[in-house]
Amino acid sequence: MTTATQEPAAQGTGTVTIGGDLTVRRIGYGAMRLTGPRVWGDYPDRARAVGVLRAAVERGVNLIDTADVYGPHTNEELIREALHPYPDDLVIATKGGFVRGGPDYADLGAVGNRNYLRQAAHMSARRLGQDHIDLYYLHTPAMTDVPFEDIVGTLADMRRSGLIRHIGLSNVSADQLRTALAITDIAAVTVQYNVAVRENAAVRRLADEAGIVFSPWHPGELPGEGDGDLFHAVIGPIAAAHHATPRQIALAWQLHLAPRTLPIPGTTSIRHLQENIDAGHIHLDADEAEAITTLIPEEH
Ligand SMILES: NC(=O)c1ccc[n+]([C@@H]2O[C@H](COP(=O)([O-])OP(=O)(O)OC[C@H]3O[C@@H](n4cnc5c(N)ncnc54)[C@H](OP(=O)(O)O)[C@@H]3O)[C@@H](O)[C@H]2O)c1
């Protein structure tokens, strides 16, 4: 329980509204890591995994990102076990259409078949214990022989039927996002984007122009040794000035970029969870943000 004087830590982070009616705080939680090795099977310490999910919600996180392929299925089942019955304001975003032939990362594929996707959304809702999915992402448009326009049409039908409330797209190009926006309403887009990985900058900019939520994955990731020297030379002093970690600065930078950016950092640690939430309270000034943005030239 929280009171007015003990509000959850995430409440100061500001909010974004998904699809015009689902308002969530700007630091979400990505649950993918709460699975077995290589995102296959159950997380080995179930009590810890349940504890991290409950801590996230207790501390004010109200957007959780998952997918049917995480486990597969075990991640959605875990979320239900940890959090059902859900708080009214909790939004669970899940994804479908991406499949794995086994624990080896090499066995990856995708299915764009209309009935497969509808069945996948029904099964995600069943596993999550919900009668519909608030935000349903197509996990990837790659590796399927179904035309992208047809898949978007299927998602639009799923929304019209009430099976899903809002449509999201994951791992799309800017051209694909533009194509989809011409077909139907898209509420959110999620792609890899962080201080070191900028290939999807055009998607971020288009999402901003279109007024839709941009949810970067691996949002706080920093480059490792070697390549990381330049980043740490720039981000290190900014972190010191804010009494923050470099990773927190990387998240604060995401929030600075656009008002509808919704990072979904993942962690298996409550201490890291708290640090990630606290990053939402860090306000970079324009010069600090620019110094990080210009570390890598972004294509226009
Ligand atoms: N749409 C897609 O195709 C796609 C692909 C990948 C991921 N995602 C989504 O994006 C989410 C985020 O990705 P991710 O789960 O890989 O998480 P992440 O935010 O990229 O980082 C996770 C890694 O960073 C560490 N970490 C997290 N917070 C930290 C902190 N404050 N300080 C130091 N280390 C920290 C974690 O270790 P600890 O566990 O020890 O904290 C873990 O090793 C996923 O959960 C998933 O929901 C989507």
Our answer on whether the CB atom of 270 is closer than 6 Å to any ligand 1 atom is no
Percentage of the chain lying above the pLDDT 70 cut: 94
Amino acid, res. 284:
L
164 exposure class (CB count in 10 Å sphere: 0-12, 13-18, 19+): buried
Our answer on whether the CB atom of 94 is closer than 6 Å to any ligand 1 atom is no
- Alpha helix (H) residue ranges in 91-173: 114-128, 148-160
Distance CA 42, CA 81 (A): 13
- Residue reference for tokens 């998952």: 66
Atom 31 of ligand 1, nearest CA residue: 272
Distance CA 147, CA 141 (A): 9
194 and 218 Cβ atoms separated by less than 8 Å? yes
pLDDT at 158 over 80: yes
Our answer on whether the CB atom of 96 is closer than 6 Å to any ligand 1 atom is no
Strands (E), the chain: 15-18, 22-25, 29-30, 63-65, 91-96, 98-100, 108-110, 133-138, 164-170, 188-190, 213-214
Catalytic amino acids?
Answer: 70
Distance CA 77, CA 237 (A): 42
Domains assigned to the chain: 21-293 (3.20.20.100)
Atom 21 of ligand 1, nearest CA residue: 266
CA of 104 to the centre of ligand 1 (A): 20
Distance CA 213, CA 207 (A): 7
Residue 242 DSSP symbol: T
Atom 7 of ligand 1, nearest CA residue: 217
Helix (H) or strand (E) holding 176, with range, is helix 174-183
Our answer on whether the CB atom of 170 is closer than 6 Å to any ligand 1 atom is yes
DSSP 3-state of 266? strand
* Tens-place pLDDT, residues 22-62: 999 999 999 999 999 999 999 999 999 999 999 999 999 99
Atom 20 of ligand 1, nearest CA residue: 218
Amino acid, res. 157:
D
Ligand 1: which of 32, 59, 75, 222 to mutate, most ligand atoms within 8 Å of CB?
A: 32
Distance CA 255, CA 250 (A): 9
| Confidence tier at 145 by pLDDT (50, 70, 90) | confident
Distance CA 45, CA 130 (A): 25
pLDDT at 2 over 50: no
pTM given for the model: 0.96
Largest CA distance in the chain: 54
Q: What pLDDT is recorded for position 123?
A: 98
Percentage of the chain lying above the pLDDT 90 cut: 88
Q: What pLDDT is recorded for position 230?
A: 80
| Confidence tier at 3 by pLDDT (50, 70, 90) | very low
Strands 29-30 and 63-65: parallel
Q: What are the residues facing 71 on neighbouring strands?
A: 40
Atom 11 of ligand 1, nearest CA residue: 30
Distance CA 104, CA 179 (A): 33
Residue 141 DSSP symbol: S
* Tens-place pLDDT, residues 122-135: 999 999 999 999 99
Higher pLDDT, 16 or 5: 16
Structure tokens at 37: 């090795």
Neighbours of 297 (CB within 10 A): 9
Ligand 1: which of 272, 275, 278 to mutate, most ligand atoms within 8 Å of CB?
A: 272
- Alpha helix (H) residue ranges in 59-191: 74-83, 114-128, 148-160, 174-183
CA of 155 to the centre of ligand 1 (A): 27
- Residue reference for tokens 């706080």: 220
CA of 185 to the centre of ligand 1 (A): 28
Distance CA 27, CA 11 (A): 10
Our answer on whether the CB atom of 75 is closer than 6 Å to any ligand 1 atom is no
13-15-16-22 Cα dihedral, nearest 10 degrees: 140
Our answer on whether the CB atom of 200 is closer than 6 Å to any ligand 1 atom is no
